[in-house]
Amino acid sequence: MMSSPPRVRWRLAQLAVHLVVALIALVVIGGATRVMEAGLACPDWPLCYGSLLPGRQMNVQVFLEWFHRLDAFVVGLALLAQLGAAIFWRSQLPAWLPWVCGGLVVLVLVQGALGALTVLQLLPSGVVTAHLAFALTLVAAVSALAQGLLSFSVESPPLWWRLMGGASLLAVIGQCLLGGRMATAWAAQRCLNGGQACQWLDWHRISAIPVAACVVIFVGTALLVGGWPRRQWPFLISALGLVVTQVGLGFLTLQLGLSQPAVTVCHQLVATLLVALLAALTFRNPEGSPLVVSAVGDASSIDHCHG
């Protein structure tokens, strides 16, 4: 029989894993909202046409903006519930957990405020980019939190693992923000259609090379070193596959002249998945938690949960 503390921690770990999925969906739906030019489909905030559920005005654009807000609201409630549980059972949980959960609540509040500003100030490029920055920070932070909750190990990975993983994570987030800034200024369309503002597109394309190199070097080093880092090969290869896919989608997006919204949205989806995966790898500990074995009966099950 499991003791109460492991069960509480396991439930919070499950919540964190589900929150990662919800946050990835939130970022991708936000990207789809921008691509479909639906950022102002609901002209008011926090309601949409003065209603919780607009009926007569509902179309694809209104649905995207409304569902984006709904997802953000559900994520906010879940983070508040997580904070409440961390405080209530703080004697049975790591001392750092309530502080981290409190920080996440602050992040989501700022994120919500920026979301309101994007509507009330009619989509200013700087505010929209900041909105994306906080969203990606939340994805990375909750993914790292899930790893912390899923392991009881006091052993830390090699220092180079943290440094190279963290550098890769920051590089990918920076590349995402550069792409977001380019997109919110409609620089790619202006460059392809009229040869204007091409510096943003050039910077995004050129910076993709060192960013991809960071991830490739991290993966290559881990595989060459052997030991515990090499045993993470399914996740390392997945990160490498996401990088290759992302580069291909970026190239295809330009070849199609940004005419296919689905390709552009997939480009943002893969980037967000890469952020979540790199954050999980960076904060992953060498040994699995005995909690997982007791909770699900099979030590291998946690790898599926991590994935």
Domain ranges across the chain? 1-155, 157-284
Residue ranges with strand state E in the chain: none
**pLDDT, tens digit (0-9, with 9 covering 90-100), for 196-219:** 778 888 888 899 999 999 999 999
Instruction: Write down the pLDDT at residue 300.
Output: 37
pTM over 0.85: yes
**pLDDT, tens digit (0-9, with 9 covering 90-100), for 153-176:** 667 889 999 999 999 999 999 999
Residue 253 pLDDT grade (very low, low, confident, very high; cuts 50, 70, 90): confident
Residue 278 · residue 215 · CB < 8 Å:
yes
Q: Among the ranges 104-108, 186-190, 191-195, 300-304, which has the highest mean pLDDT value?
A: 104-108
Packing angle between helix 159-184 and helix 187-194, nearest 10 degrees? 60
Q: Which residues pair with 48 in a beta bridge?
A: 51
**pLDDT, tens digit (0-9, with 9 covering 90-100), for 104-158:** 999 999 998 998 888 888 778 888 889 999 999 999 999 999 999 988 766 788 9
**Does residue 307 have a pLDDT over 80?**
no
**Does residue 297 have a pLDDT over 80?**
no
**Does residue 35 have a pLDDT over 60?**
yes
Packing angle between helix 187-194 and helix 198-225, nearest 10 degrees? 120
Instruction: Spell out the residues 6+ positions from residue 113 whose beta carbon is closer than 8 angstroms to its own.
Output: none
Which range is least confidently modeled, 19-28, 50-59, 266-275?
A: 50-59
Backbone angles phi, psi at 51, to 5 degrees: -135, 155
